[in-house]
Structure 1
């Protein structure tokens, strides 16, 4: 809240200074125009905020109970796979919500292009912000789409057609038909056509094209200005062939472009380019004199007036930033322009994606002209052949497969830099310095930019504070222990879904790529010194392979005897050439850390009773991490360590009554207890008996169910330590984001 107040105050002060300067220059009319252009977006933004609060209140009134709901959806807004169904629809009051549930058995009805009415049973809840720092901002994205709630569908009772004659209905109908035709094409062609022509980037596309994202080529697959100008040129060529008059051809293009924008899903880049082209055309027809920056500024204002929430999205920011850059370097050559665009977009991309590959510069220089001048027209030609002749051009699928293989290979080549997430003010300052350099080169300005980037990199990679962070991984455990200056980075458990020992051929779902790994990358962490696995359960080690695949892991520690567990070793064996597997028992320490091993006392196969228990002192606070250790083994630890006292206890077995014996809690006397458990989990964790035990012993509880990720930081210039949580405590209604010790 304090940050928002500072940002608003500084923005108002800066705006006031600019308006005062314009007034002093006796440009009174210009000053009034600027004031109006400022007030109008503010009023629209205030109205959007009030509307959102009203919709959230309506969702809160419906939340918590299973209800029968009529949901109106268009087939192009529904994704139905073996894993389940998800999409965006409208309630009877036209309020937009997202929904997800089991896969539709009546999937054949999705082949229609008509709007559908689904009568479903489910539970509505407000859209939540990300529960872990560094994770994707689902709440902001939902707001930009006008979505105010989320529906968990438990049963679909009835599906009926509900046709509509509105323009929106027709656009969805055409889009559904177009996507259905694209699905008949070979795999890579289908993925590319759906993404490029209809803004429908499928899960299959994201899986098979990871290199495109890592090399910062994903902008080629975002509906933007490139598509508009290629399609315009294609239309004008067709008009020439048909001997249409120039005025007729241009007028037809201006009518068709907004329709295509709607059919393509209304992506912000495409919407921006369409508005700009329309302005140029109508201004020329009305004989008004305007420049490129006038079109850019008016387009920005219109987009903000139509959807103020979109400004927080990367697509919006990148689209307007790059179009602004294109105007300023319009006289540069293609090679120089490509390098400038990559340089300008880099601070923003680092803020959202945390890493950069130096080959992205080479890839953009090589692939951008190939893609725009050859591949995109080839894809259009293939789609036309599919519509007219139900076939595609021979060799195109193979060519796209080669393109994917080359980009995927380049993305894993040495040269990736894990930069981390720079602060917002450095992103703005660095972008401003880059524009100053573009205007006029100077070694002083270049050195200033290099110093800013270097200091930011050191600030991220050599932090003065250490941390112990408890990730929200649902029903599971994953804890980061990081020393100041990143002297050592240790992960205690990895979290995961209960499919680590899935049968051969059964798909494995990993949560770490969207929960823990983004946070580590945001902190500039690409190397983990130690991964300590408490025991074999999938909710503790199921995502181990994600870390071994995506990051450098020096050592993996397991409890004594777990290397005799054949199921575990089968998963570990492919990685033993690049990481060291070490078995530990009570009395040992984890090298280069402050962590001492208090359990196990005897070898086992990694069951709950074999859990590795770790103890360490950080920032004056004594921590104990107990895995899923049962009560009997907790008491055995007390017999071996009768003087054991702790300040912070990670409760065993997610707060289950099988752990946290009352006598054990009284003996170690923790002040704070951490519970890591899934929301609405089927086990009922934390159990009521455990909560009573904690209350009786005056233990303050922090639960990832209600506060999301929990982070303890210590050290720094003042040597202070404090607990910070991602959310406020929704269960007790108290603000839990700052517990200072």
Structure 2
């Protein structure tokens, strides 16, 4: 949710008090009623979701055989994986994913299917890192309460349906299947625009569209409804339908298309608005555009209260309200207003803004509305009739994607960071007031708010040492107050970093660590310190080098002789310094000292770079995957070494964290970064017993998500906090 409950209640109270003071008593009661009904429905939805979660928790953790029913348009079976949305016997909706079916023909159907699967259920959780995509909120908006990891599919059978919902799903699957023979670019546009199916192909080719804030063109908003409505009326005129019959046909077809297109909230909003206009007109009742907007908002909240926390819902209703608000403005002014009003909301979710986005909207919105969308629609109709596409369309769409991607990579992308929710709300209100009537006071208030927000985000008074949840790997951020320096210790990554040439490298950082850095307004990284060469420590390095300005990359002494590693980063060495570090050196512009290695190596575990630093009165030690023999060698060189916080070596494996080592350095807190349900069984029970024996409090990414230590600030007591559990460990001394 963008604004918390106390803020919402406060604003609602002011609104009701204002209506009461204006002596609009009947209107006051109408407002109270309009608030109570959605709140009651929302409360009921909350209770239902909690009941489903409790049911799911009773089944969590054990392998079981389940029967799963899935609609064909909600199942994806590729060469890489099987995934989709299904319904259990108790009518609970879940995500499921696993290895691909060997018999792919079994799912190449437009009929509902019943799967008998073996797997492990888990409750859908919120994102494990701050700044990452809100997976729990999305799951709730889809009515999904759990996640099923499928290990085997023993049976696939057709499951006929006679319900209208099931038939619409099957028609949608048929419609998607008709686009399969189309060329790649056209196919992805048809599936996304007409059916609301965002494929991997579309995400791959639309990065520029997203960065230029043009993604609203594909969000199934009012654009599609009005273009299709005008097309229908044109066809009806050619067929000499009476106007009343044409309008009645349109009102019957629009809800059908809304279901065929996946029921996206933007499309649902536009459909409900058009339906209201027609039915009120039929009843000879006159209402304003704001009345239609308000009633549509209430209906959408009653249908699914969880949608209110989704960007699509917020953006759709904000922009449609702004369109009504500036209905008398010209096209140029209207486009500028829509971009400005949506900017605070987009920054709250995406953290970046490209200065070319305004120009791109001015140019591409009319181009897309007047040419590309009708051309895509015509190609789909041509495919249905003639089983071919119109010559040249694929080339035109490729040019469009290439131009948008090229513009998005042009200089001008600004990482502004994530503004607080209340600032987003106040900014939107001030922008709307300025649209209504310009005044210097309002302009100064908005300008002052922007300046204060930028200062708060880019020059924070607090610093942090954060341990990202990157699965089986390490990724640590050390950021000093006022962003004096930003340092990463390892980047996380999947084991395929050293895959053979031609095999794709999968990066986790774009969904785990990079969003958090951008939410903090970070666009440059002073130092990236790589403890050693293992892919789960350095695999995502190239993602950071591609997304950020990185001044220096530090590697352990001798690792520059590792040819596998050097081949991967060679293309990026013209824009960053690669430096080799050994014991006794320091990391520039930081408090980090290098304690290991003592001799050159190729970046193996025994060559791990060990870093020591003091932040907010706490002494930290980062050991990479340093084995026990090297831990003893470290003590021989630094017999007086004492720490408060230890990042346990090798994910808590028994090959690190020797009993004698822990006894000497005497940490109070231990940090474990290991993947959930990892095949190695990390952290090892022997290591956990060692920690317990020495009274070390453990923080574990597996059960707590991202772990963050914040210090500094005028009234901020240094403390640890975790993403999933409200566990805090305060520091009573800064000495």
Equivalent position of 2:127 in the other structure: 130
CA distance in structure 2 between the partners assigned to 1:383 and 1:524 by the alignment: 42
The Cα offsets for residues 135-180 of structure 1, whole Å up to 9 and x where unpaired, read as 0000000000000010000000000000101001110111001000
CA distance in structure 2 between the partners assigned to 1:272 and 1:719 by the alignment: 44
Matched, 1:364 2:361: yes
Matched, 1:15 2:12: yes
The Cα offsets for residues 413-454 of structure 1, whole Å up to 9 and x where unpaired, read as 011110000000110011111001100122332222122112
How do residues 556-705 of structure 1 correspond to structure 2 at under 5 angstroms?
556-705=553-702
Equivalent position of 1:36 in the other structure: 33
CA distance in structure 2 between the partners assigned to 1:18 and 1:576 by the alignment: 58
TM-superposed CA distance for 1:12, in Å, is 3.2
Instruction: Give 1:471's match in structure 2, choosing from 468, 471, 487.
Output: 468
RMSD: 1.3
Q: Alpha carbons of 1:190 and 1:657: their partners in 2 closer, same or farther (altered >3 Å)? A: same
Matched, 1:253 2:250: yes
TM-superposed CA distance for 1:8, in Å, is 3.1
Equivalent position of 2:550 in the other structure: 553
Q: Contact (CA 8 Å) 2:717, 2:730: kept in 1 or not?
A: no
Matched, 1:220 2:217: yes
Q: Secondary structure at the match of 1:92?
A: coil
CA distance in structure 2 between the partners assigned to 1:143 and 1:159 by the alignment: 27
Equivalent position of 1:169 in the other structure: 166
Q: Contact (CA 8 Å) 1:142, 1:148: kept in 2 or not?
A: yes
How do residues 49-198 of structure 1 correspond to structure 2 at under 5 angstroms?
49-198=46-195
TM-superposed CA distance for 1:13, in Å, is 4.2
Q: Alpha carbons of 1:719 and 1:11: their partners in 2 closer, same or farther (altered >3 Å)? A: closer
TM-superposed CA distance for 1:21, in Å, is 4.2
CA distance in structure 1 between the partners assigned to 2:356 and 2:195 by the alignment: 29
CA distance in structure 2 between the partners assigned to 1:236 and 1:665 by the alignment: 78
Q: Which one is further off, 348-357 or 453-462?
A: 453-462
Q: Contact (CA 8 Å) 1:726, 1:737: kept in 2 or not?
A: no
How do residues 283-432 of structure 1 correspond to structure 2 at under 5 angstroms?
283-432=280-429
Matched, 1:706 2:703: yes
Q: Secondary structure at the match of 2:496?
A: coil
CA distance in structure 2 between the partners assigned to 1:12 and 1:571 by the alignment: 53
Instruction: Give 1:272's match in structure 2, choosing from 259, 269, 272.
Output: 269
The Cα offsets for residues 572-596 of structure 1, whole Å up to 9 and x where unpaired, read as 2111111111001001111111000
Q: Contact (CA 8 Å) 1:725, 1:738: kept in 2 or not?
A: no
Equivalent position of 1:736 in the other structure: 727
Q: Contact (CA 8 Å) 1:563, 1:605: kept in 2 or not?
A: yes
- Unpaired segments ≥5 residues, structure 1: 729-734
Q: Secondary structure at the match of 1:159?
A: strand
The Cα offsets for residues 578-622 of structure 1, whole Å up to 9 and x where unpaired, read as 111100100111111100000000000000000000000111110
Q: Secondary structure at the match of 1:35?
A: helix
CA distance in structure 1 between the partners assigned to 2:623 and 2:534 by the alignment: 14
The Cα offsets for residues 545-579 of structure 1, whole Å up to 9 and x where unpaired, read as 11111111111100000001110111121111111
Q: Secondary structure at the match of 1:459?
A: helix
Q: Alpha carbons of 1:715 and 1:13: their partners in 2 closer, same or farther (altered >3 Å)? A: closer
TM-superposed CA distance for 1:7, in Å, is 4.0
TM-superposed CA distance for 1:648, in Å, is 0.3
The alignment's TM-score, normalised by the length of structure 2, stands at 0.98
Would you identify which runs of 4 or more consecutive aligned residues in structure 1 move more than 6 Å?
none
CA distance in structure 2 between the partners assigned to 1:477 and 1:24 by the alignment: 58
TM-superposed CA distance for 1:183, in Å, is 1.2
TM-superposed CA distance for 1:720, in Å, is 2.4
CA distance in structure 2 between the partners assigned to 1:68 and 1:691 by the alignment: 33
CA distance in structure 2 between the partners assigned to 1:172 and 1:469 by the alignment: 44
How do residues 507-522 of structure 1 correspond to structure 2 at under 5 angstroms?
507-522=504-519
Q: How many residues align?
A: 732
Q: Contact (CA 8 Å) 2:719, 2:728: kept in 1 or not?
A: no
The alignment's TM-score, normalised by the length of structure 1, stands at 0.97
Q: Contact (CA 8 Å) 1:355, 1:419: kept in 2 or not?
A: yes
Q: Alpha carbons of 1:438 and 1:632: their partners in 2 closer, same or farther (altered >3 Å)? A: same
TM-superposed CA distance for 1:29, in Å, is 2.2
TM-superposed CA distance for 1:25, in Å, is 4.0
Q: Contact (CA 8 Å) 2:556, 2:609: kept in 1 or not?
A: yes
Q: Contact (CA 8 Å) 2:581, 2:594: kept in 1 or not?
A: yes
CA distance in structure 1 between the partners assigned to 2:48 and 2:201 by the alignment: 36
CA distance in structure 1 between the partners assigned to 2:728 and 2:339 by the alignment: 38
- Unpaired segments ≥5 residues, structure 2: none
Q: Secondary structure at the match of 2:57?
A: helix
TM-superposed CA distance for 1:739, in Å, is 4.1
CA distance in structure 2 between the partners assigned to 1:539 and 1:256 by the alignment: 52
Q: Secondary structure at the match of 1:629?
A: coil
CA distance in structure 1 between the partners assigned to 2:482 and 2:559 by the alignment: 33
CA distance in structure 2 between the partners assigned to 1:465 and 1:131 by the alignment: 22
